[in-house]
Amino acid sequence: MKQALILALIVSVIMLSMTDVVNGEPQTTEKAIFAGGCFWCMEPPYDKLDGVISTTSGYTGGHKKNPTYREVSSGTTGHTEAIEVVYDPQKVSYTKLLEVFWRNIDPTTKNRQFCDHGSQYRSGIFYLNEEQKRLAEESEATINRTKPFKEPVVTEITAARTFYPAEDYHQDYYRKNPIRYKYYRYNCGRDQRLKELWGDNLHE
């Protein structure tokens, strides 16, 4: 009986020590969904943030279930290229994620980001709860007060719909194909336009 009690106590201690981590990830993770044009280009700034656990390229905001890249690229599904960010709120706040978002997009263009045109490249914040909605709207108001450019902000803030992960070859594209990624990014004029909009106040 005494041995059983000791064993039960040991098991309890082990279980308590595991409450903060499940499968190698913090138990209290949260998600955020952002669209900023080409999803390849939206992963790097978040992957560099302490507290971000993963980024996944995908599609959201449309009406077709399980869309393919070809379908989304045609502009007929209503989806936009987006990323889903899984993060530890104890290490990085949603407000910080919003700051990074704004400074990695062109919020002045509708249905377009840099060289990519069409509703499938529209920018957006897709909130998952009322707190994210509130913070997103506050961040937009702050941008409107402090923006160093004259054009109005047209980025959408809307309730999240289903997020569909993109095909495997799109995930971590900038790591798998660094030369092609850099060539695309440069020729798309992304960094040039970001600097024009935000100056050196970027999050890359």
Q: Calculate ∠ Cα 171-173-174, nearest 5°.
A: 135
Number of residues in the chain: 204
Of 38, 41, 115, 188, which is the active-site residue?
38
Residue 16 near residue 125 (C-beta atoms within 8 A) = no
| Cβ burial 149-177 (10 Å sphere, 16+ → b, else e) | eeeeeebeeeebeebbebeeebbbbbeee
* Active-site residue flag, 38: yes
What is the phi-psi region of residue 56: left when phi exceeds 0, alpha when psi lies from -120 to 50, beta otherwise? beta
Closest CA to 36 of 147, 202, 190: 190
User: Rounded distance, CA 148 to CA 103, Å?
Assistant: 11
Tokens of 143: 């941008």
Name the residues annotated as catalytic: 38
